Structure 1
Amino acid sequence: MSEVKEKKYKAKDFASDQEIRWCPGCGDYAILKQVQSAVAQTGKPKEEIVFISGIGCSSRFPYYMDTYGMHSIHGRATAIASGLKTARPDLSVWIITGDGDSLSIGGNHLIHLLRRNIDTNILLFNNEIYGLTKGQYSPTTPEGSHTKSSPMGVIDHPFNPISLALGADAGFIARTVDREPRHMKDIFLQADEHKGASFVEIYQNCPVFNDGAFNAYTDRGLKDENTLFIEAGKPMTFHKDKKGIVLDGLKPKVVDLTSDEYSVDDCLVHDPSDRTVAYILSQFFDNDKSADLPRVFGVIYSENRPTYEDQLSNQVELAIEEKGEGDLDALIAGPNTWYHQ
């Protein structure tokens, strides 16, 4: 085993022999490549890595990874991964899911995995549409959008995945985008290094049913003024450092750094451990652009707390220490069951 762990992996080592079948131009291709590159960089042997998915375009993912994996059922990838990680805490478990898969039928399982802090890496591909089932609106589709299932416009208020994860007490929360490969890879590596539940939202373009949903954050002529890439310990500036974020009380405000009124020193410095600021950043989300707030990318929140599987293991060890190994036959035949000899 030690010889296997010393092997130097390359991204191609994690590419399976299966033909990749996504639509031309789909953002999933870029995500797959960066995940393969990231897991290779971790140095973990492929037999200790598992990818579990639910249902949706993104859920083809395990077929394309030369690791263990499971293409499970709609919304239940988080539940299956929870069981696997609890039984085999030594494994590196990745959950591949979409906005429809994890925030609709799978929403209940998602929030409970996050609150339990089970050491898994959740990659949520958010294209704001149901792609596999041909263009119905999803839990993240913006209000007013015209889709196959909302010809007069969506009237549902959309989920904000980052705020949802914060509300469920996730220990690591980040956002990245399919058009920024280096950023994606770095976020995946940070998520993998984090001990506990890691939640990564990935803006992923669907060129068939929701093309251009994230143009404001990816197009060369637009993204500079609409995106804020945050890093721990660095001031929040964007638009080539022409603009910055300051707090007026707890209200965020965009300021002009080319004027004499504000400088970089006035800008908010990012601290991923600050939950209050993390929530404020998660609210740079509203469809109302009157405040000119950019969309935030990077590690929004990170904290260390005990994982579910470690605490469970401690309980099992304590029970054995206090009561012995236990005897299943004796338990079944005991006075506290329906069967008694």
Structure 2
Amino acid sequence: MSAAAKLAAMKAQLAELERLAEEERRQEEERKKAEEEARKKAEEEARRKAEEEKRRAEEEEKRKAEEERRRTEEARRTEEERRRTAELASQAIPQKRKSAHPDLEHEEDEEDEAQGEEAEVLHKPSLGRTCRFRDGPRTSSCTECQRRAAPCLGAKGLPAPMQARVDKKSGESPQRKRVKKSAPIVVEDDDEPATPTKKSKGKGKEVGSEKRSTEKGRGAGAAAGVAESGGEGSGRVRLGREEKEWSVDPEPEKLSDRELLQHVLVEGQKTRLGMSRLLHHLEEEGELRAEWALADSKVMRQAVRKEMGKWAEEELRPLIRAEIHSVLAEFFATPAEQEEGDGQEEEGQEGEGEGGEGGEEGAPAE
């Protein structure tokens, strides 16, 4: 193959490569353009939806405001119509005139009812209306304001038959016995009045202090009961018979139930006070014995400490001195003296051994 053919083949390959690169670049540009158009279209769609939502919300707000304004206008118109109707009714039906006599009031009610027959359509019960039979606002107890069955009877609002029954009963029933407010209520076996008087009010503090003192020191006067004091206070009873007790009463079976209960209460009180006094004495004795034991133990400890000091001073001091002296002599002695001392100790031990054997031999001879 000649050089010209090879050059032509290479040029053809280069041209093909350039064509392929140009085609690929053109496809890439088309793809980018398509993506850009799709993005713009999506943005436009989103903007259009947002505007649509905003417009819809504004229309909803306008509609609600229009409805609210229409309801307000209707309420105002209704209130004006109600006020106009009330004014017409008040002009057509005059108010009741005040009268001091009940018969005249009843006659005036009949006249008002006769005059108001033509305006019955306008007389409808509603809040805020005034009663045409009484000088005041309408109440739930006024029968005329609720229905036109019977004339209004006043504040109580009872029908005529029921009011007649009430009047009949009140006339037939006897008058109640009224007691003065200042009169105290007297209870049997009770010296103190139920309601405090002016004299007793000033002595309230003294009575309270006396009660507290009697509650604290019941033991002294409880054996003789409260009969000695001549009266009875809070939580105290008085004997049925003066200067007599259950234990010395000759005929207890002839006593009444009240006297028996009084005697039983007094005896129980005496027993309780005696037991409390005994418990108090036992507690005091226990405390005193504890103090005595503590004092005795202190004295014993002091005596033992003193005797131990004396014994240590007399007996232990020479022994301690001798032991210290021997230890110091052994520590400061020379080697020769130590050998002599050891020899003396061995001779002494041998002498002690021989003496012991001789003693043992001489013992049977004796």
TM-score (norm 1): 0.17
Q: Which has the higher helix share?
A: 2
Q: Which has the higher contact order (CA 8 A, sep 6+)?
A: 1
Q: Which has the higher strand share?
A: 1
